[in-house]
């Protein structure tokens, strides 16, 4: 049996794992055998129950990623629990919507701090652990269609996700030779809390659906295969990629 996708014995840190995309990825990694250290600021009870069904170990870490204060503790708690940290999924994110002409500094900073700044410094903390321990590691950033396109009314979100694709490439260039793979997944239009406003806007929802060749919004579990691949030995020679999982959106 091919064991290159087997994650048994590994510990995965997944941010924003309380619901949506983060929850779907946490469950997929658990199903592949990884212990899951789920990071978020709200209840992880639902995610804990779903991961428990896979038989994988689970740890909830309560943390706030709008500042850098909790970042050292996240890696420390995960490694104390799992013995090591092998996988980091930077999924936590936020979005603010307004016309660019009216967009505020507060809305700009709130998005950039979580979507880009905390991703860099958590990746740095994770990489320092991996390098100190002398084992390999996998970092998976959750990008967006806005890593490739402009969008409308989400200037800080587009800037952060475009920046995240660039950061993924930069860290891959620096760390590939040191045993750390850095890649990203770019979800298309998924049915999550962040897209609630779009799905409730009949005109925008119709426009979006009309462009997706698969004919439906994505579900969090649709990202599981890509996440397990990028977290596993099967992707050992994959570096700096931003992989769209978009129902064919970019192909249209």
Q: Of the listed 58, 120, 126, 157, which one is catalytic?
A: 157
Distance CA 211, CA 190 (A): 14
Q: Does the active-site annotation cover 157?
A: yes
Nearest to 75 by CA among 85, 90, 67, 60: 85
Would you state the structure tokens that stand for residue 150, as one six-digit string? 């402009």
| Other beta carbons within 10 Å of 135 | 14
Phi/psi of residue 64, nearest 5 degrees: -110, 120
Q: Is 190 exposed, middle or buried (0-12, 13-18, 19+ CB in 10 A)?
A: buried
Residue 178, C-beta contacts closer than 8 angstroms, at least 6 positions apart:
131
Asked whether 107 and 56 are in contact (CB, 8 A), the reply is: no
Q: Which two tokens stand for residue 19?
A: 């619901």
Sheet holding 11-15, edge to edge: 58-62, 35-40, 11-15, 87-90, 137-142, 180-187, 242-245
Place of tokens 């996240």: 74
Q: Which residues are catalytic?
A: 157
């Amino acid at each position: 049996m091919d064991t290159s996708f087997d994650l048994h014995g590994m510990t995965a840190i997944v941010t924003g794992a309380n619901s949506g995309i983060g929850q779907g990825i946490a469950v997929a990694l658990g199903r592949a055998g990884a212990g899951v250290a789920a990071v978020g600021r709200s209840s992880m009870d639902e995610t804990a129950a779903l991961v428990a069904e896979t038989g994988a170990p689970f740890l909830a870490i309560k943390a706030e990623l709008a500042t850098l204060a909790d970042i050292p503790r996240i890696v420390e708690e995960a490694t104390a629990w799992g013995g090591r940290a092998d996988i980091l999924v930077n999924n936590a994110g936020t979005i603010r919507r307004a016309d660019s002409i009216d967009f505020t500094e507060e809305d700009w900073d709130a998005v950039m701090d979580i979507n880009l700044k905390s991703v860099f410094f958590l990746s740095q903390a994770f990489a320092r652990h991996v390098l100190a321990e002398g084992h390999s590691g996998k970092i998976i950033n959750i990008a967006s269609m806005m890593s490739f396109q402009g969008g409308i009314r989400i200037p800080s979100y587009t800037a952060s996700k475009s920046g995240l694709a660039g950061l993924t490439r930069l860290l891959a260039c620096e760390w590939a030779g040191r045993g750390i793979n850095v890649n990203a997944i770019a979800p298309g239009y998924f049915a999550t809390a962040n897209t609630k406003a779009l799905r409730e806007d009949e005109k925008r929802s119709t426009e979006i659906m009309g462009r997706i060749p698969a004919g439906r919004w994505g579900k969090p579990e649709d990202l599981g295969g890509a996440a397990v691949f990028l977290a596993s030995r099967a992707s050992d020679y994959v570096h700096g990629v931003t992989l769209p999982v978009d129902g064919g959106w970019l192909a249209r």
